[in-house]
Structure 1
Amino acid sequence: MIGSHWTWQSLIDGRMTLTAFCHDPACNHSQKLDLVKLRDRYGPDASAMEWDVRPKLRCARCGGRRVGLSYTPDTSPAGWHGSSYRKAKGE
């Protein structure tokens, strides 16, 4: 993480998962995003913050633009010990 902003590489290094979900109640589709593909497309230091990513997204099922994001740290025992999320919390 650079400063207080996530980058594609910091999400990968922190073993984070980024899930997009459609806000259309008739669709309600969700999908994990491929962070490696996004890093390769936009660059490792490109911002991966919600306000930068969301405008680029469209629901893969219905094509809608009302898409939300969920950032989730790896909370498995192996991932938790080295996660940037854990370090940021001071644990």
Structure 2
Amino acid sequence: MAKGWTIQGLIDGKMVVTAFCHNHRCHHNQVLDLQKLKEKLGPDAPAMEWDLRAKLRCRKCGNNDSKRFGLTYVPDYDKVPRSPIASPYRKTSE
């Protein structure tokens, strides 16, 4: 994926994409349904922030100004296995 993420790449990577409306009176946020985006745009559609922002509209205030949206991309921690973190503050069982 040298040119960026695709919708299918985000699904395969178990990512969660959240859109944030930056309208000063709204500040609504919504987790995007990647399966619906895949059906609408296709699996190989580019999914970088600048690609998706132009396609968004806030469900709460109707904002569709791409400059007033932000997106976050994070792993879905419920689906991605996590490795234990070694911490010097963790109590030992001994």
Whether TM exceeds 0.5 here: the answer is yes
Distance in 2 between residues matched to 1:70 and 1:42, nearest whole Å: 19
User: More displaced, 67-76 or 11-20?
Assistant: 67-76
Distance in 1 between residues matched to 2:62 and 2:24, nearest whole Å: 13
Structure 1 residue ranges without an equivalent (≥5): 82-91
Aligned residues: 79
Task: Tell me which structure has the larger Cα radius of gyration.
Answer: 2
Q: What SS does structure 1 have at the residue aligned with 2:19?
A: strand
Q: What SS does structure 2 have at the residue aligned with 1:79?
A: coil
Structure 2 residue ranges without an equivalent (≥5): 83-94
Distance in 1 between residues matched to 2:57 and 2:77, nearest whole Å: 28
Percent identical pairs in the alignment equals 54
The equivalent of 2:87 in structure 1 is none
- Aligned pair in 2 of structure 1 residues 80, 4: CA closer, same or farther (>3 Å)? farther
Alignment TM-score, normalising by the size of structure 1: 0.78
Alignment TM-score, normalising by the size of structure 2: 0.76
